[in-house]
Amino acid sequence: MPLVRISLRRGKSAQHIAAIRNSVYRAMVEAFNVPQNDRFILVHQHDAEEFDYDPNYLDVPRTDDLVIIQIACNNTRTIEQKKAFYQRTAELLSKEPGLRSQDVFINLLETGKENWSFGNGVAQYA
Domain region containing 76: 3-115
Quick check: is 66 in a domain? yes
Is 2 labeled as catalytic in the residue annotation?
Answer: yes
Quick check: is 120 in a domain? no
Quick check: is 50 in a domain? yes
Quick check: is 121 in a domain? no
Quick check: is 122 in a domain? no
Tell me: pLDDT of 1 over 90.
no
Angle between helices 79-95 and 14-31 (to 10 degrees): 150
CB-based contacts of 58, cutoff 8 Å, min separation 6 = none
Quick one: three-class SS letters along 4-67?
EEEEEECCCCHHHHHHHHHHHHHHHHHHCCCCCCCCCEEEEEECHHHCCCCCCHHHCCCCCCCE
Bridge partners of 111?
74
Tell me: pLDDT of 125 over 90.
no
Total-model pTM: 0.95
Q: What is the CATH number of the domain that holds 13?
A: 3.30.429.10
**Structural domains of the chain, count:** 1
Quick check: is 89 in a domain? yes
Quick check: is 55 in a domain? yes
pLDDT in tens, 17-52: 999 999 999 999 999 999 999 999 999 999 999 999
Q: 2, 35, 61, 97: which one is catalytic?
A: 2
Look at residue 99 in the predicted model and tell me its pLDDT: 98
